[in-house]
Amino acid sequence: MQHEGVWILAEQIDGRVQRISHELLIRGKDLARKRGTTLTALIFGNGVDTGDLQELIDRGADRVVAMESPALEHFLPEPYTACMLKIIDEYRPEIIIAGATSTGRTLMPLVAIKAHTGLTADCTVLDIEEETGNLLQTRPAIGGNIMATIKTPKGRPQMATVRPHSTKPAPKETGRTGDVTRLQAPQNLLASRVRRVDFIPDVDEHGLSDAQRVVVVGRGIKKGDNVELARKLADKLKAAIGATRDVVDRGWLSYPHQIGLSGKTITPQLYIGLGASGSIQHLAGMQTSEVIVAVNTDPEAQIFKVADFGIVASLFDVVPVLIEKLPVEGK
C-alpha cells in the first residue's frame, strides 16, 4: 500500500494543545498543498480538550486523529513510540513532522529507527522536491556554520523535527470542517519501563523556549548582582531571561537559561543581547530570531553582524534609559 498524506504531531499539556502544534500546521499546509494531498494532525493524550481539537481543523488540518489513554497523558517514550508506530502502520503517512521539543526530539528518533526510515532534526526550512515529490529538509549544522539540505529518498514516512518558533502559528479560518477521530489506545501498547513520578515547574525560567521576547545577558554584565538590571528590562518587556555560556559557567544564571550550541535554541520575535559578544557557540542558538537587538561596548563584536539594531555603548548606560522610554504596556 502506498504512503500518502502529510501529518503533524500536535502536542498537549494537561489536555490543552500547545502552540508548536499550530506552527506545525503552517508547515504542514504548505507541504500538503505542494504535494496535492491532505493534512492530518496527530495527538497523543488523555481527554484532550474538544475545542482545542476542533481548533486544529480551524487552523488548517483536514483531519485530527487523537489517540488517548491515561497512560498517554504525559510523554513516555515507550507507549508513545508504540502508538505512533501503530498509527504509521494503519494510516501510512508519507510525511510526519514534529516539533524539535523535548518530546519531539526523543519520540521521533525512536520511531524512525523502528520504522527504518530517515529523520532530520531541527529543520528550519521544509519543501517538496519538484521532480521526485520528496521532502527537502534544511537544517543548520556545525554550530550554524553550514546549512544542509537532506532528503529521505526511499524510507517512508519521511520524518523531520522543526524548530519551535521558526514560523508563526497558522491562523484560524472560519467555516473549516474536518473529521476529528478519537481513538482509544490499545492496552497492549502501553507498557512502560519509565515512570513519571512528579513534575517540578520551573519558577525561574519563564519558559525561555516558548518566549516571544528574550533578554540575553552576556559577560558584559560583569557580575551576578547586575543580572537584576536585565531582569528589570525583561519584566518591562514581559520577556524571558537568557544567558551566554560565559554567564552560566560563572554561575550568574542557571543552565536552563543558556542559549547556544550547548544550551537552548530560541527563535523569539525579539532578542535583546546585553553585553553578549556573539560567539559562534551563542549565535548557533539565536540567529534565527526575528528581530535582533544588540548592546555592546565593542563596535567590532560579532553580534552586530547578525543584529538588526545595534547600540555601541555600555549596557549599564543603555538599559535604564531604555526601561524608562519603553511604552508601559507590552503587547
- Closest distance of CB 47 from other proteins, Å: 20
All three cell numbers of 224? 551576578
Instruction: Compute the distance between CA of residue 117 and CA of residue 155 in angstroms, rounded to an integer.
Output: 4
- Closest distance of CB 172 from other proteins, Å: 19
One-letter amino acid at 138 equals: T
Residue 9 or 293: which CB sits closer to other proteins?
Answer: 293
Residue 117 or 226: which CB sits closer to other proteins?
Answer: 117
Instruction: Compute the distance between CA of residue 112 and CA of residue 28 in angstroms, rounded to an integer.
Output: 19
Residue 147 or 179: which CB sits closer to other proteins?
Answer: 147
- Closest distance of CB 214 from other proteins, Å: 11
Is 97 within 8 Å of 75 (Cβ atoms)? no
- Closest distance of CB 181 from other proteins, Å: 27
Is 248 within 8 Å of 259 (Cβ atoms)? no
Residue 36 or 199: which CB sits closer to other proteins?
Answer: 199
* Residue 199: other Cβ atoms inside 10 A: 7
Query: Which residues make Cβ contacts (< 8 Å) with residue 314, sequence separation at least 6?
Result: 220, 297
Residue 29 or 282: which CB sits closer to other proteins?
Answer: 282
Q: For residue 148, how far is the Cα from the chain centroid? A: 19
Q: For residue 305, how far is the Cα from the chain centroid? A: 24
One-letter amino acid at 255 equals: Y
- Closest distance of CB 7 from other proteins, Å: 18
